[in-house]
Structure 1
Amino acid sequence: MAELKLFGTWFSRFGQRIEIALKLKGVKYEFIEEDLNKKSLLLLKYNPVYKKIHVLLHNGKPICESLVILEYIDKTWEGPSIWPRDPYEKATTCFWAKFFDEKFGILQELAGLQVFTKEKFPNVGEWIDEFHNCSIIKENLPPEDKLAAHFQAHFRAVAASK
């Protein structure tokens, strides 16, 4: 059996999408929680360029960056496709994935910003609703109150250090 480890944090939506992809494919893995203030030597060993999460370690070989990891998962394991097979649809999906990577929903809410709204992006809003209604997605997203508390504490710590 293949050895598979995922280095990440419980609160990262980038890591959550990797975990969701692995679960959709039915792949067993070990999750290794990283402390971003004191990164493990293993994380630094397996991602010496960026020195950050997320790293998927498959049989001792590291794969870094969440979108790259999703591509790897999709091509490596059988099961439901993560990415569309049609090149145009895949490019469009990658565009939206990058768009969402740059728009932090919970952080927007905490900061009182309205960068992304269903009124401005109705089709995307509908897709997000469908996404959140998928049982595997629901089971793997952290509670919003726990996530909000984490980021509020982080913001307070940053503000106090200045």
Structure 2
Amino acid sequence: MEEAGGVKLFGFWVSPFAQRVKWALKLKGIQYEYIEEDKYNKSPLLLKLNPVYGKVPVLVHNGKPISESIIILEYIDEVWKQAPLLPQDPYERAQAHFWAKFAEEKVRQSVVEAMCSSGDEKQKAVKLAVEAFEEFEKELKRRGTKFFGGETIGFVDIVAGCISYQLPVHEEVGSLKILDSSKFPAISEWTRNFLNHPLINEGLPQKDQMFAYYSKRSKEIAYQKMSHKTV
């Protein structure tokens, strides 16, 4: 097992991107040191480790920093071979990358857009989110497995995992409904299976704290969007 001194993770308590990395490290049994960053008051060390974006997560392995959550996941899977996240078969590996990209760009981002919008923009964003969930539902049903990774949690599950615990908060903050269990039974079952895993459920942010954060954050984003329109 890797010693904690060789692996450090810089994150922010509510960041779904940092959470992805935590899950991957836990599932592979890698000990690590976690360093909490303040999104609104970033440390000089974080800015030194990620000078291009200045964002979390940053994984530091043997003194070398790696940024961007999906790239970090790939790095972890390459370095630590136990409990593989990505399939070995080249085609299945490509499919995993495709659905991970879909989960990030279509599923998660459309939900955040819906939460932070109003009026016609909100309706459009909700429609796009529902359409993305429909595609995800079809893929889960096609696979017929417990997870996207088969019977164990894999790369796509980790990338899409924030849906399981953040979506109810986003829906509440944005006064919207996306995940209807009667319409999306496969995703609903996947969510339950994912959260029932002890290493996944361990140490997740509290719902009331997430609600307070995203209520504030959604107003900030809405204000930024409005400011751009008036420029």
Count of residues paired in the alignment: 162
1:54–1:86 distance in 2 versus 1, CA, 3 Å? same
Correspondence 1:1-162 to 2 at 5 A: 1=3, 3-101=6-104, 102-103=107-108, 104=111, 105=167, 106-119=169-182, 121-155=184-218
Q: Distance in 2 between matches of 1:42 and 1:36?
A: 13
Q: Distance in 1 between matches of 2:179 and 2:89?
A: 27
1:93–1:46 distance in 2 versus 1, CA, 3 Å? same
> Quick one: which amino acid aligns to residue 152 of structure 1?
S
The share of aligned pairs that are identical, in percent, is: 47
- Greater C-alpha radius of gyration: 2
Q: Distance in 1 between matches of 2:103 and 2:196?
A: 18
1:13–1:88 distance in 2 versus 1, CA, 3 Å? same
1:14–1:139 distance in 2 versus 1, CA, 3 Å? same
Per-residue displacement from partner, 1:49-81 (whole Å, max 9, x unpaired)? Answer: 112111101111111100110111111114211
Q: Distance in 2 between matches of 1:129 and 1:40?
A: 37
Q: Distance in 2 between matches of 1:143 and 1:23?
A: 19
Q: Which runs of 5+ in 1 are unaligned?
A: none
Per-residue displacement from partner, 1:53-111 (whole Å, max 9, x unpaired)? Answer: 11101111111100110111111114211222223333333333333335242324421
With normalisation by structure 2, the TM-score equals 0.61
Q: Distance in 2 between matches of 1:142 and 1:91?
A: 32
Once the two structures are overlaid, the 10-residue window that deviates more, 24-33 or 112-121, is 112-121
> Quick one: which amino acid aligns to residue 68 of structure 1?
I
Per-residue displacement from partner, 1:124-161 (whole Å, max 9, x unpaired)? Answer: 33322211111111113222222112212334566789
- Where 1:11 maps in the other structure, the secondary structure is coil
1:8–1:45 distance in 2 versus 1, CA, 3 Å? same
Q: Is the 8 A contact 1:16 1:140 kept in 2?
A: no
Q: Is the 8 A contact 1:20 1:140 kept in 2?
A: no
Once the two structures are overlaid, the 10-residue window that deviates more, 132-141 or 147-156, is 147-156
Q: Distance in 2 between matches of 1:20 and 1:64?
A: 16
Once the two structures are overlaid, the 10-residue window that deviates more, 127-136 or 78-87, is 78-87
Once the two structures are overlaid, the 10-residue window that deviates more, 126-135 or 15-24, is 126-135
With normalisation by structure 1, the TM-score equals 0.83
